[in-house]
Chain A
Amino acid sequence: KNEVEQSPQNLTAQEGEFITINCSYSVGISALHWLQQHPGGGIVSLFMLSSGKKKHGRLIATINIQEKHSSLHITASHPRDSAVYICAVRSNTGNQFYFGTGTSLTVIP
């Protein structure tokens, strides 16, 4: 069983739709990261959070430590949001990261 589970695995949305990607984890964590992997393969960090909520433009990330769950929301989605979104958690017992398998998002114009 993976330490980090993401859902859905694949998501297709119409431009303008509100999108939610979920991440559940089973280990104790000190921080959770949301990463975006572009079609060209590069990975960029979107958020790093350990509690509450963070907002960056049209992206919002929330985390509930008690429920071991995080969500990434995209408001007013756009085709340029098409990418793979990866949830990663940092174990609270060391430097180990655990990664979800990613959610592939396609936003259709």
Chain B
Amino acid sequence: NAGVTQTPKFQVLKTGQSMTLQCAQDMNHEYMSWYRQDPGMGLRLIHYSVGAGITDQGEVPNGYNVSRSTTEDFPLRLLSAAPSQTSVYFCASRRLGPERVHTEAFFGQGTRLTVV
């Protein structure tokens, strides 16, 4: 029972480099999301997905792409890294219940990304 697995745990990039943060869950959750956590701010939603083939933008989507080709995986891509993307990134997943049925969120361990 791995839950939500994020890789890598740490990453240093040069400005302009690209990379993909991986997120996988083994709970068959429909809803997956990516957040970034910055000092003095709450977690902010980057992108989310309510199922395979469906993605949508969150609060801070610029500079990030996502795809959801399977229920299990929800990778986050930085196409051209910028220092402003230095942050800690969290992936989360949860079941999508019927309307008004609220489900617990499960978080990955986080990825600490530094862009120099």
Contacts and interface: CB of A to CB of B under 8 A. Distances in A.
A96 B102 contact: no
Contacts, number: 57
Interface in B46-92: 48, 50, 58, 88, 90, 92
Interface residues of B, number: 26
Nearest to A96: B45
Contacts of B88: 41
A101 B42 contact: yes
A contact face: mostly helix, strand, loop, or mixed: strand
Interface string B9-41: 000000000000000000000010101000011
Interface residues of A, number: 25
A45 B107 contact: yes
Interface of B: 31, 33, 35, 40-45, 48, 50, 58, 88, 90, 92, 100, 102-110, 112
Interface of A: 2, 4, 30-31, 33, 35, 40-45, 48, 50, 86, 88, 90, 95-102
